[in-house]
Structure 1
Amino acid sequence: MFNIVDFLPVGEENAITMTELAIILNCSKREARALIYEARCKGAVICSSPDSAKGGYFLPKNNDEVRRFIMFAEHRINSTKEATRSAKKFLKKGGFS
């Protein structure tokens, strides 16, 4: 078995898209995403960038890239929590019943 970290570029400017990564690994994007998740759970620091021009996955080259990734990920977490708040409130009030 291979280590996905070996296929990731270093530095945000070299980020690889999920599509590109799946092609390189010869797997689906879903499988590639699962491999990234597993590597992160095992301690790998794999960053992602939302940059629409060249966003994707990469290994950080410095602390600033790690910090930007943390800020990006925490913002997504907070946005998701906010998005589910009204749905939880709806269910608490009885939902469709």
Structure 2
Amino acid sequence: PSGGGKTTLVKLLLRLYDPLSGCILVDGHDIRSLRLESLLRNVAVVSQDISLFSGTVAENIGYRDLVRGVDLERVRLAAKTANADEFISSLPQGYETYIG
């Protein structure tokens, strides 16, 4: 239902922010003790809501890889799979267009 906290829970699981009190456990481990790279490698979310981060189109698509660096080849493959490559390429600076 609306207002049930689904979006908040996902944001907490992805460590977009940490809880002010208490903790979230995954297999008995506080997610704050897990390496962010490891956590993000093992969690996937397909949201109904659009969230844009302050950065480039490539950084937004490759958000999962920001820890190690965005792989433009993977970003382009994801965009092509989503039928977005043509649109993105038509932007003034393509994948380097600043959004968010």
TM-score normalised to structure 2 length: 0.28
Larger Rg over CA atoms = 1
**Counting helix residues as a fraction of each chain, which structure ranks higher?**
1
Q: Which has the higher contact order (CA 8 A, sep 6+)?
A: 1
**TM-score w.r.t. structure 1 length?**
0.29
